[in-house]
Each structure stands twice: as structure tokens, then as C-alpha cells.
Structure 1
């Protein structure tokens, strides 16, 4: 799975997220998360790298569940009520479903994007999805400049601090640095666009590519596996009566 086409990874992550967002119930999220954990074994990641990249999600999901537990919609038997805090059977079920659903949506996106190279993604979007190559190459060039943006911000902050301008008026300093970075970004973008045009980028309606991007059997297998995970989650949830279609107005409207 780690060597699959970036377009397949992107499509799989978006499709799974879209399906899981249709309902808020713990059954479909649990089934999807369990099958995703099996799929992660073929991602080519070590446990250390997996936890280093996914720890923000592993921390944010329980915090989201706790917030939903304390301030979610109250229904059923009330267990605790103190000011705005209302813990009931409904808020407990919603908190569990929300926590598992955050994990089921975010973890595949993080795992799939870990092994994506920006250049390979640009090649796939232009050659497989057939997006305009001028837009794809421009987006890739902009993405490559993100690291320079961070370095420029740090250098400018140190320079202003050395001049005695960085210790007071935090908001004014932030706005001044933001405007300076905007001017610098426009100048750098203009120079980069001129350089790319001089080298022939976008000169012809059809261009050649240094690396060919193909959508093969392994990529199709990844998409099919994700589709099966989504189908299994939906079927199990509907069969057990836990499907809670959001667009339909929740479980009450489905039952009616």
C-alpha cells in the first residue's frame, strides 16, 4: 500500500471520509477502524513512525469525545447535570461515536499521506486525473516554497528582535511581519513564474513528463479494499439498527 499511486491514496482517503461522515454511530466507525488497522499492516510503516505521525490524532480524538460527553445533546437518562455540563445516555453514545469516528477518518488520511511524495502526487494529478498541468506544476512549486516561508519568518523575527522591535506590541509586530511576508511572497512568486515560463513550463498545450504515472493493479486493489471497508461499515450499522443518517435528521427520522 505504501507504494501505491498517490492518486489512489488520495481518492481512497477522501471516499472513506465521505462515507463515514454520512452517519454518526459507533458501529460503522468501529467496523471501519478495525478493518483500517488491518490495512495499515501493509502500509510499510514501523510502529515508531506510525505513532510519531499519528499522535496528534490519538490525542485529539479522546479530547473531542470528552467535549461531546460534557456538552453534547442530552437525551435519555440524565447522569450528571451541573451548569452547562449535561451527561446523559445520549451524550455518552454520541461521545463514543464521535471519538471512534475521528480516529476512523483521520488515521487513514495521515497514514496514506505519509508515503506520498509531492512530485509523485503532481504527476498523478496531471497524468491520471488529467488536471491542467499549469495548475498542478504551480501548486507543486508553491508547496516546495512552504519550507522557505518558515525559514524567512524565523529569520525576519530574529532580525526584528535584534533591532529591538520584537519585545513589545505583539499584535502590531505580527501584522507588520505578515505584510512583509506577503510582499516577499509576491516578489518570489513573480520571479518563480518568470523563471518557469523561461524554461518552457506551460508553453505548449500538451507536455511530456519525466516520470510516467500509472494507475495499476495495486492501486485498484487499494481503492477496492477501501470501498469494501466502507460497504462493510454501512451494512453492519444498518443491519444492527444503529445507522444514524445525518442528512435525514438523525436516528429519529430514520426510525420514523
Structure 2
């Protein structure tokens, strides 16, 4: 990992952190691992087979740590807004905690690294994500040749489409732009899964109907109602895990196949 690669990471990180903070503000989701994977592939391909794995992993760590901190700050700003707290005090305290973390985090890593066998597949700390990211770095060494067919073309098309939609939303009048979707919010279901998009769509319909019936009540209680629904959805993961351990199958199972596939 050459010094100019590290400098490039720090020059690119603020713009990427802004994108991640914007996504956090819209969706309350931290996509730092996604941006880290992009940096991993880019720097692994730039360095090549002579140290590309280490360079890619190092760049991934730098980008992820920076954009993750920015997203956490945005989430704290949202919390301070809802609780009528001082954003200036929150920002100062966040900077103090980041400074403390620069000391505590390396010490914690050193403690785990010396006290436990990190990465042992049969040990207590298997570190499965380390293996996954290393494999991605190995693939990234091959450059564009390792990508699936037409992957780069599809990425470029969707990037230009998102740019055009964003420009249209900013350039058109408010009565028109309100019907133009936000590309960042549209991209999240593609990353997480369709279930998230369905939940958000149903919640939007409920909020729309609620605002039509009682705008003041909806503005006052919509956040609390949405938080309760999201929390309830996550609470269900506990009985779902118990049912999975007991090998209880769901009453309905769907499977979608092409017509040419044999059943």
C-alpha cells in the first residue's frame, strides 16, 4: 500500500462520506460496507498481483472507517433533531468520541490479536467476514476481467440514469419534482432486498392516507408509529430463530422458476 494510495483514499473519502450520510438521512441505513467494497475492487485492480490483496483491504478499511463515522454522525443529528437537543453540543461530543476511539480501537484490536487466535475456523473468533473480503480482493486483482458479463456497462447505465433523475428532481418545479423518486432511496432495496422496499411502500401508503385524514396527527405521531412497526418487525426475528432451531417449516412455501426448468 503506497503512500499515494493512502492519500488518494483520504482525498476521495469526504465525497464518499457525504454520499453515505445522505443515504443515512434518507433511509437510516449505513452503506459503508458497500463503499468499502468499491474501494477494495478499485485499489486491488490498480496494484495488481504484486500486493493487490493487502492494498485493497487497507483501502477498504480506510474508506469504511471514514464513511461509517460520517453516517453515525448523521444518525445522531437525526436523534438530536427529534429530541430537540443541541446539534452543536452533539457535534463536539462526537469529535471527542472519535478522538478517544483513535486510541481505544487500536488497543482493543491489539488485545484481541494477542489474547485470541483470530481467524481460526475452529476457534472462538472465526472472523468470517475477513475471509469474504480477502476473497473479494483476490478477485479484484484480475480487474474488469473478473466481473460478470456486461456488469460494467450496466453499472455505467444506472449511474447515468441516477444522475439524470437527480438533475431532473432539482431542476423541475416543486409540484413536478414531488413525483420524481430519489435515486438513493430507490437503490437501497436493490442492495438489501425486496422485503425492505415492500415495507417502505406499505408504510408510505399508510402515511399518505393518514395525512389526508388528519395532517396534524400524522405529522406528530408518524415517526413513533413507524419506529414501533420497525421494532416489531425486528422483534419477530427472535421467535423466527426459535422456529428455525425447532425445524418448524412455514405453512406456505413459494418457489419461482422459469417455464423451461424442470420441477
Q: TM-score scaled by structure 1?
A: 0.26
Q: TM-score scaled by structure 2?
A: 0.26
Question: Relative CO higher for 1 or 2, CA cutoff 8 Å, sep ≥ 6?
Answer: 1
